[in-house]
Structures are given as structure tokens and as C-alpha cells.
Amino acid sequence: MSKLIKPDGYKALLDMKQTEQGIKLIKEFFQQNISTELRLRRVTAPLFVLKGLGINDDLNGVERAVTFPIKDLGDARAEVVHSLAKWKRLSLAEYEVEPGYGIYTDMNAIRADEELDNLHSLYVDQWDWEAVITNEQRTSEYLRNVVERIYSAIRRTEYLTCETYPQIKPFLPEKITFVHSEELLQMYPDMTPKEREDAICKKYGAVFIIGIGAELSNGEKHDGRAPDYDDWSTMAEDGRQGLNGDILIWYPVLGRSFELSSMGIRVNKESLLRQLAMTGKEDRQSLYFHQKLLNDELPLCIGGGIGQSRLCMVLLQKAHIGEIQASIWPDDMRKECKEWGMQLI
């Protein structure tokens, strides 16, 4: 069921022409920054993959992929990608990427089960990136270091945007704050996970929540994660569980927390087997991707996705992602958006 946040007094700071120019500015500048910061080279990525190889990603583990038959392959079915976490890891091996270097790509996806609102669209565009690491770098400290570098690239892009369009004022804090999902639960035990995210983001402005996917002390997960890409079960050197997380900010235009990136150190052989067992998905061990990993044919890595439309939405201070990207929206949402000053493309 779609839902819409209607911010009081909202007025777009850029017209549609300026918005399109701003999108181009942000995408080109950030892409150059993140590739330099993390030593990534661009590769071309698929829009769809063959079903049954275990290459597509389940995200929270329940989303249905869009599928279609391929005539020239005897009606074998293909799936439109959800994200490219596993495909990127296969590509790191294929390109023989060395530790300390990686790849990034423009990822376009269709998520038909998405609940449509100001932040969520059927169409998803991300910078998907993946980098090779050593076993010694599979630590919380290394994860934090990479997060800080990504956040620095985001802030540099905010500075350029505000210099180009003086009517847009910067709002991101200088530093990003780190908090573990269990620590967050202890801070706000009576809140839902979403309410906890709002509270911590409103307090600090920009937050990385570590350890998303495993059960917390209350028997619930902060949020779901599929068992076969992020490592959310390994005990880090600080005694906390999980080597993944989300970058979130407090977004004053909508008065709520706002996720910009989901990322993490990826599963190794041991954590893959453990997480498949924890989620009752042991049958996946026989799939193509999982066999490659279990046979030590894939590198250790860290990676994630950074929302392109989302980053543009935040830095151009728009109230609806449909002001940034062309997608399908319910007629009543389009009508309400127009009444509230949100010009959907």
C-alpha cells in the first residue's frame, strides 16, 4: 500500500531544468570521487541474469524478482536483478582484481514488491561497488574506515552542489557517528527499529548502524538481510556481531531518517555456511555462486550500493524521489504530489 509524506510549506528550490542539470552534476562528480576514494574502476553490469544460478540477490530474503522467458534459450527464465552483490564478486575473480582495488557499476533494477512512498520506487538505480580485501581486513575497524571515506565523498558532493546552487544550504554534519544495532536497541528499548533509526539520526545527523541481519537480544532483527552476501554473523574484534550496516542521515525536508547506502564485508566460507544454517537455506549450497565461494574460487571482499536517485534527492533537497527519476506512481499519489508542490517526472 503506497503512502505519502506531505511536508508542510514544501517548495522545490530548483525548477525541472535546473533539477536535471543538478542530477548530472551530482552523478558525475560523486562517481569520480568514490572511484578515486576507494580505488575502483568502472565495469559494465547486466540488467538481468539467468534464474537458478544463485547470482541474483534476495535483499531481505523475501522479495520476488521480475522474470521472463528467453526464446533462444528454450524459454529458460531470466530475472531482472535486485542488486549485484554476488555478480560483482564473480566479476572481481574474473577480472583478477588485487587486494586494495575494486570495481563499480551503474546498477539498474526493478523491485516490484516495493511499497511506494517518497523514498521507494519500483525503479532502483545505484552505484554498486565491490573491492577485494585481505583476511586481516575483515574487521569492524576496516569497515568503519571505508564508511568514513564514502561519507567524505558525499560531503564533498554536497559542497559542490551548494556552491553551484546557492539557494541550497548544506545540512550534513562533518562526521558520521557509528552505533551497533544492539547498542541502539539498548538506547531505545521501547521503539521499533524504524523509530530507533529516526531517533539516532535526529540526534547525530549522520549515522552508520552496524550489524544488520542477526537477531538482537530482544529476539528480533533490526532489519532483514539475505544470508549469502553480507556477513552479519561474525563476531568482530570489538565483541559485537556483524560486519555490515547502513549509512543513514537525518533528512530535514521530510523530518525522518533516510538510508543512503547498505554495505558490508561479505561472507567468507565459514560465515556463509553459518548464515545458511541460521536461516534454513542450506539448499543454496549447491548453487553456482555458492559452490564457487565454498571452493575458494572467489576473493574476500567488501561492497555495497549507494542510491543514485536518493543521493540526488537529498543534495537537491527534494521531497519525493519521483522528482528525480521517472517511474510509475499511483494516480492518487501523483495528484497529491502536485497539490503539495512535488512535480513528479
Residue from 246, 256, 271, 309 carrying the catalytic annotation: 246
Residue from 257, 262, 309, 317 carrying the catalytic annotation: 262
- ∠ CA(33), CA(36), CA(40), 5° rounding? 115
Based on the residue annotation, tell me whether 186 is a catalytic residue of this protein: no
**What CA–CA distances, in Å, run from 20 to 60, 111, 315, 345?**
32, 24, 13, 10
**What CA–CA distances, in Å, run from 178 to 31, 151, 248?**
24, 12, 10
Residue from 63, 183, 223, 259 carrying the catalytic annotation: 259
The grid coordinates of residue 339 equal 497539490
The grid coordinates of residue 345 equal 517526472
Residue from 31, 35, 83, 126 carrying the catalytic annotation: 126
Contact of 261 with 146, CB cutoff 8 Å: no
Helix (H, G, I), strand (E, B) or coil at 3: coil
Query: What whole-number distance in Å separates Cα of residue 89 and Cα of residue 302?
Result: 9
The C-alpha cell 542539470 sits at: 21
For residue 230, the 8-state DSSP code is B
Residue from 89, 111, 225, 266 carrying the catalytic annotation: 111
Cα 342 from chain centre: 24
Based on the residue annotation, tell me whether 8 is a catalytic residue of this protein: no
Based on the residue annotation, tell me whether 126 is a catalytic residue of this protein: yes
Residue numbers annotated as active site: 57, 111, 126, 246, 259, 262
